[in-house]
């Protein structure tokens, strides 16, 4: 026969066991969320100041400028050290060119990217228009457009540096500025593996915020 004391002890164990199971379940869910949510990278920066643009880039990255400067266009690539586990097969680039085909930045950017995508034969290609105001402080008189593309294939940057990962993304901001001798187009872009996109979000924001055409 079970005594009242023992019965009380037994009933008391049930909520304790249930509570322990609930805590364990929450811990398990928390661990899964921790493992699945991308780790936001935090880096220190150096400032690049060129004749046409100023931008911050992660400290220690190589800066590759055009060997022979051109009067009407230019581009600069920023590359992490070889073997950098935080930024595998990744690059940031900035550039500028005069006399864009289209006055509005959106049409210019979409047309140029569509031509490149068709030429390179991308598969599973998807394009999303983003709001430049969410990433950069663009003066009201400047025309800006921003797009993010995901695709399977090697873009020009990946081919240039001999990368292998084909599940990639490209994010680009284009700005058109009316100058005394015509319209000048300025752009900044990130290229990298789709698997790393979430962890790059903070760095992408901070570099785009720093991007300043020297118009």
Number of structural domains the chain divides into: 1
**Is residue 40 included in any domain, yes or no?**
no
- pLDDT at residue number 140: 85
**Is residue 50 included in any domain, yes or no?**
yes
Q: Which residues pair with 149 in a beta bridge?
A: 127, 170
Cα gap 141→13, rounded to integer Å: 70
Which residue reads 């105001």 in tokens? 133
**Is residue 100 included in any domain, yes or no?**
yes
**Is residue 136 included in any domain, yes or no?**
yes
Question: Residues near 88 by Cβ (< 8 Å), separated by ≥ 6?
Answer: 165, 192, 193, 196
pTM: 0.80
- pLDDT at residue number 136: 92
Cα gap 92→191, rounded to integer Å: 6
**Is residue 27 included in any domain, yes or no?**
no
3-state secondary structure of 42: coil
Q: CATH number of the domain that 113 lies in?
A: 3.40.1000.10
Question: Residues near 89 by Cβ (< 8 Å), separated by ≥ 6?
Answer: 158, 161, 163, 164, 165, 192, 193
**Is residue 145 included in any domain, yes or no?**
yes
Q: What residue numbers bound the domain in which 182 lies?
A: 45-213
- pLDDT at residue number 149: 96
**Is residue 9 included in any domain, yes or no?**
no
Q: Which residues of the chain fall short of a pLDDT of 50?
A: 1-8, 11-18, 23-26, 29-37
- Terminal C-alpha separation, the chain: 92
| pLDDT tens column, 113-129 | 889 889 999 999 999 99
- pLDDT at residue number 52: 92
């Amino acid at each position: 026969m079970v005594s009242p004391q023992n019965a009380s002890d037994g009933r008391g164990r049930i909520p304790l066991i249930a509570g322990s199971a609930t805590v364990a379940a929450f811990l398990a869910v928390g661990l899964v969320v921790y493992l699945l949510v991308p780790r936001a990278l935090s880096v220190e920066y150096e400032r690049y100041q060129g004749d046409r643009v100023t931008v911050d880039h992660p400290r220690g990255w190589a800066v590759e400028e055009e060997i022979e400067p051109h009067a009407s266009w230019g581009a600069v690539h920023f590359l992490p050290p070889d073997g950098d586990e935080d930024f595998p097969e990744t690059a940031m680039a900035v550039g500028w060119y005069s006399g864009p085909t289209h006055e509005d930045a959106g049409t210019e950017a979409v047309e140029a990217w569509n031509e490149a995508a068709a030429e390179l034969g991308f598969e599973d290609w998807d394009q999303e228009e983003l709001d430049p105001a969410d990433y950069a402080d663009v003066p009201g008189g400047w025309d800006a457009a921003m797009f993010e593309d995901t695709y399977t294939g090697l873009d020009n940057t990946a081919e240039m540096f001999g990368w292998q990962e084909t599940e990639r993304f490209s994010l680009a901001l284009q700005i058109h500025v009316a100058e005394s001798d015509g319209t000048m187009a300025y752009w900044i872009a990130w290229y990298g593996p789709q698997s790393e996109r979430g962890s790059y979000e903070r760095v992408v924001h901070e570099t785009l915020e720093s991007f300043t055409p020297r118009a």
